Structure 1
Amino acid sequence: MVTNQTRRSLLKAALFGAAYPLAGCVTTSQKTQQPTLIGCSIVGRDRFQAVVADENGLPLKSIALPERGHGVASCSKHQHAVAFGRRPGTFFQVFDYVTGESIKLRAADHHRHYYGHGVFSHDGQWLFATEGERNTSRGIIGVYDVIAGYEKVTEFTGFGLGPHEVILMPDDSLAIGVGGVHTNGREPLNLDSMSPSLSYLDKNGELIEQVGLPDHKLSIRHLAHDGSKTVLCGQQYRGEPDEYPSLLAMHTLGGELLPLQAEPEQWARFNHYIASIAATDEWILATSPRGNCYGIWSKHTRKLVEQASLPDASGVVVQGDVFKVSSGAGGVVSQRRPGDKHRIRSGVQWDNHWSVIS
């Protein structure tokens, strides 16, 4: 339930959360750059922002968030971005990513919370958000009418407990990483009976296909697609602490989930958790803030070809054929292929995910 204190925090953010430049980080030359990347950041104790950056990850504008953010959805048709509260999230914040102006700060519905991710439809008409029912964790995709001021118009459900990330496929269907975990706040309650899945819904919310992994302790959470029909999913392992199964898999409709390959000691470095994923025609890159590293796999062989250290490795997106990787320690890595990387300092304490404006 959204508490009075939460509502006061949301109201305060709405009143005082106008965009402002990041002091000490934005130069005159940077202000002329185009907004390209958006992510949430941690500023200090109980201070959080969404940050708009240029193509190099250098900050241009920011907007205050009432609580810690997680994923960001963006829509170039309207110049809108939406930052979602970290699970169990109580809000999403809509803003203009060019001007930085706040458009709408929406509290979660009664007995609902956000799981931290959402995506716009291709035509910009709808926003789809992963939500849960409090006390049950029943999975919901909230459907919001963008033109009507982000009014919720319907809910899709019937695919499982604890959906985390939702992405839009090229054919307008939705792919959902369903964690399968019933939680009280962030405390898991059903690890012995959890039932994760990769689920697909059509544009009307009907279940198209649902697939799982043999090990039900692999909670499917984060997703990406390769621009075509292949979906990549990253897992959080909820099993024995000294076991290190594959944490990544790839899938196309009608097929099986195919685990990506690495040695157990390499999987151990990821510390049982994959955060962000991105893919090109040749390569797949996945980050682990808990493991302070990221890995690059060959899409064709499914084998790990590079594992690199990066403190609090967080978001990753693809621009053209170049991966851009963010760090909670402020670094940004640009990498086209294994062994070819360029690092800069952004001055931003990036959180788990990035969104690229397309």
Structure 2
Amino acid sequence: MTVLSTPIPRRALLRGLGASAMGALGLAELSFAKDAGSMAGVTRLAAVWRDGPSAMAQDWAGVLEVLPQASGGHAWRIAARTPLPTRGHGVQTLPDGQLVFAARRPGDWLLRWQPQTDALQWAWMQEDRCFNGHVSLAAPTTAQAQAGAGRSGILFTTETDLEDSQGCIGLRDAVSLEKRAEWRSHGMDPHELLVLPAALGPLPAGTLVVANGGIPTQSETGRSKKWLDAMDPSLVALHPADGRLLGQWKLPDPRLSIRHLAWDATRQRLGIALQAEHDDERRHSAPIFAVWDGQRLQLAQDQPPLAGYGGSVECAPLAQGGFVVSCPKSDCMAWFDAQARYLGSSPQGDVCPVARDGARLWAGGGHAVAERTSRSSDQAVTALDTVTGLMFDNHWRLVG
């Protein structure tokens, strides 16, 4: 084996690894039919995963299909996949069926992919920034305000300025992924972001809501968390046209990192998954959930200890609304009503990605998939022969 003694810049190395993976493993493995959208009862989920628990396992982006079975119940398979150079995290669907995946923080790449044709478009981050794992499609108001954006639309990406650790929002062309502008997130460590589909009080439709995780970072520390005493998490609302700050909300405990978001349009509530960063016993019993109504943040009420870690959050498939938070460190899913009152939990090992499809909730834990219609319902989804042992990463999103 030849050992290279000349240091290779990290981003250049990742580019090489990505090219090697795609060369060795081939292009996306597609099983989409041309008329795939007409298959009745099929749910498609954009996902990221690893081939196994090993640090050397291959990372993938892809589409899972959940198929109704003649004998009852459902089975799932990998419908399409394409290799990634490092772990992926969040995903955004585009109106034309393409998917945009963001690298896990501190990330170096953004990928736009068309599963049916295997068209790929990569963007690599400049040296003084990193991607923070999430991407969202901006409202038309934002695209119209960006000169030259045309009909392609604008994508928001959460980023960190590695010079000062401050959060940034990248505004990128949805086709070329080229950055057209940048806004400050008014906090550190911005993570998930969400575009309000309608006005909420004084906040106009298209307002960008950003979860500032609040954890200080430096380029040389990677994912290592430093200076937690300086944590300053917040939820912010930014104007869709120019990014000016419309509001900022903070929790009473600065060690509760604000991470993931889900919007209940019917009840106009934002569900928020939290991750505690205490270095003592407070972490074990810390709240993992909060709600926001456009005016204030309300922490979870009557919640039992859940290791202080909420993985993903989704609207609950219940008539009365509410939210579900996956708890991979507690091997369960926690259910809350729209006022953040704890309702109970559903056991599922290593559960993290969740996605709602009407009256159903699909949840992934490790290699397994489960279907739920309520807190007490639980039906395992059979893995078809095309699926080998894999480890789901944090998030799923429905594909139309």
- Give the TM-score normalised by the residue count of structure 1: 0.88
* 118-127 or 10-19, which deviates more: 10-19
Residue of structure 2 aligned with 1:64, choices 83, 108, 112: 83
Give the RMSD, CA atoms, in angstroms. 2.4
Alignment of 1:84-233 (within 5 A): 84-99=102-117, 101-122=118-139, 125-147=153-175, 149-170=176-197, 171-183=205-217, 184-203=221-240, 204-228=242-266, 229-233=268-272
Give the C-alpha shift of residue 21 in structure 1: 4.8
Please give the secondary structure, in 1, of the residue aligned with 2:261.
strand
Q: Provide the aligned length of Structure 1 versus Structure 2.
A: 343
Give the C-alpha shift of residue 35 in structure 1: 6.4
Residue of structure 2 aligned with 1:337, choices 374, 379, 382: 374
User: In structure 1, what is the Cα distance between the partners aligned to 2:116 and 2:300?
Assistant: 38
Alignment of 1:257-268 (within 5 A): 257-263=297-303, 266-267=304-305
Residue of structure 2 aligned with 1:18, choices 27, 31, 40: 27
Give the C-alpha shift of residue 232 in structure 1: 1.1
Please give the secondary structure, in 2, of the residue aligned with 1:192.
helix
Residue of structure 1 aligned with 2:292, choices 251, 275, 279: 251
Q: Deviations over 1:165-186 (max 9, x none)?
A: 1112112111111011112211
Q: Percent identity?
A: 25
User: In structure 2, what is the Cα distance between the partners aligned to 1:154 and 1:105?
Assistant: 18
The answer as to whether partners of 2:136 and 2:194 remain within 8 angstroms in 1 is yes
Unaligned runs of 5+ in 2: 1-8, 68-75, 141-151, 198-204
* 345-354 or 66-75, which deviates more: 345-354
Alignment of 1:315-326 (within 5 A): 315-326=353-364
Partner of 2:101: 83
The answer as to whether partners of 1:2 and 1:108 remain within 8 angstroms in 2 is no
Please give the secondary structure, in 1, of the residue aligned with 2:14.
helix
Partner of 1:234: 273
Give the C-alpha shift of residue 55 in structure 1: 4.3
Give the C-alpha shift of residue 318 in structure 1: 1.4
User: In structure 2, what is the Cα distance between the partners aligned to 1:86 and 1:217?
Assistant: 21
Q: Which amino acid aligns with 1:250?
A: V
Q: Deviations over 1:190-233 (max 9, x none)?
A: 21121100111121211111101000110111111113531111
Partner of 1:351: 393
The answer as to whether partners of 2:269 and 2:338 remain within 8 angstroms in 1 is no
User: In structure 2, what is the Cα distance between the partners aligned to 1:83 and 1:46?
Assistant: 19
User: In structure 2, what is the Cα distance between the partners aligned to 1:35 and 1:109?
Assistant: 37
Partner of 1:36: 44
Give the C-alpha shift of residue 118 in structure 1: 0.7
Which of the pair is proportionally richer in strand? Answer: 1
User: Which is greater in Rg?
Assistant: 2
The answer as to whether partners of 1:220 and 1:235 remain within 8 angstroms in 2 is yes
User: In structure 2, what is the Cα distance between the partners aligned to 1:58 and 1:136?
Assistant: 44
Partner of 2:58: 47
User: In structure 2, what is the Cα distance between the partners aligned to 1:98 and 1:173?
Assistant: 32
Q: Which amino acid aligns with 1:18?
A: L
Distance 1:105 1:12, change over 3 A: farther
Alignment of 1:256-335 (within 5 A): 256-263=296-303, 266-267=304-305, 270-280=306-316, 282-300=321-339, 302-328=340-366, 330-335=367-372
User: In structure 1, what is the Cα distance between the partners aligned to 2:116 and 2:364?
Assistant: 21
Distance 1:38 1:273, change over 3 A: same
Give the C-alpha shift of residue 10 in structure 1: 3.5
Give the C-alpha shift of residue 122 in structure 1: 4.6
Q: Which amino acid aligns with 1:129?
A: T
The answer as to whether partners of 2:263 and 2:269 remain within 8 angstroms in 1 is yes
Distance 1:84 1:38, change over 3 A: same
The answer as to whether partners of 2:18 and 2:83 remain within 8 angstroms in 1 is no
Unaligned runs of 5+ in 1: none
Give the C-alpha shift of residue 291 in structure 1: 2.2
Distance 1:35 1:144, change over 3 A: farther
Q: Deviations over 1:116-159 (max 9, x none)?
A: 11111255611111111124321011111124x12110111051
* 55-64 or 270-279, which deviates more: 55-64
Give the C-alpha shift of residue 112 in structure 1: 0.9
User: In structure 2, what is the Cα distance between the partners aligned to 1:258 and 1:106?
Assistant: 38
Q: Deviations over 1:79-110 (max 9, x none)?
A: 111111111111111101333x1421211122
User: In structure 1, what is the Cα distance between the partners aligned to 2:195 and 2:21?
Assistant: 30
User: In structure 1, what is the Cα distance between the partners aligned to 2:382 and 2:163?
Assistant: 42
